[in-house]
Structure 1
Amino acid sequence: MTPMTVSFKALLLAAAVALPGLAMAADPAMEKDGMFTDHKGMTLYTYDKDADGKSNCNGQCAENWPPLMAGSDAKTMGKWTVVKRDDGSMQWAYDDDPLYTYKGDEKAGDKAGEGKGGVWHIAKPD
């Protein structure tokens, strides 16, 4: 075997191991225990005042409820969509409902935002 053959085989093996993780990282969120979380395990929420695929949580609201941001190159994937925020940045949405974390959730799995103000709810799959 030539060194080139060995290197190519090593590259293929590395790609086979790495690609499943990369594919998962491209997903905007994960489903865990019947609810959506970000990739750090933080609970995701929807806001009743959002409508027609538009976020109405800006300024102080967005500081308390950080949007699940999407890259400028993010693409719609089934029910996962991308909405443009008032500041021009992009945010992930599920079934046109923009998604947020809550600054009051301190660790993965916390759900302190559920029901806040009667307008915040844990995001769940249909």
Structure 2
Amino acid sequence: MTQMTVSFKALLMAAALTLPGLAMAADPAMMKDGMMVDHKGMTLYTFDKDAGGKSMCNDDCAKNWPPLMAPADAKADGKWSVIKRDDGMMQYAYDGKPLYTFMKDEKPGDMTGDKMKSVWHVVRESQK
């Protein structure tokens, strides 16, 4: 009986670790309160200097504006795509625009990076 309990707990733990990854693969982000957020509820942004489905935010920029990373084998469809960054990592993009969070957003719903330097913008429902 103890072996069965341990196995059941292991199965539950495996499912708990796997399911969020599957949800992320199917839908990397969602709309909440009129803006696009990641699965932690953190606001997603676009960067005006990105062009042609390529991220121009690397090195120190990416430390301040962490990319919405995708697993190496991520599949995307519709307006979603996966782009390869300069560092070889994969990043989600929506409608051809790479997506980022902002390091100064401390909690879900914060959008302190909106209109930062007139080049960073919250992804809003009207854009979706």
Whether these two folds match at TM > 0.5 is yes
Deviations 1:78-123 (A, max 9, x none): 1010010001100000001000000010000000000001100001
Structure 1 or 2, whichever has the larger Rg, is 1
Deviation at residue 28 of structure 1 after TM alignment = 0.7
1:34-62 per-residue CA deviation (whole Å, 9 max, x = no partner) reads: 21100000000000000000000001000
Point out where structure 1 has 5 or more consecutive residues left out of the alignment.
Answer: 1-13
* Structure 2: unaligned runs, 5 residues or longer: 1-11
What's the TM-score, normalizing by structure 2? 0.79
TM-score (norm 1): 0.80
| Structure 1 vs Structure 2 CA RMSD | 2.1
User: Cα offset for 1:24?
Assistant: 3.3
Matched, 1:85 2:85: yes
In structure 2, the partner of 1:67 is 67
Partner of 2:56: 56
- Figure out how many residues of one structure are paired with residues of the other and give that number: 111
Correspondence 1:21-60 to 2 at 5 A:
24-26=23-25, 27-60=27-60
Please state if 1:98 is matched with 2:86: no
In the TM superposition, structure 1's runs of 4+ consecutive aligned residues that sit over 4 Å from their partners are 20-23
Identity %: 61
Q: Distance in 2 between matches of 1:82 and 1:119?
A: 22
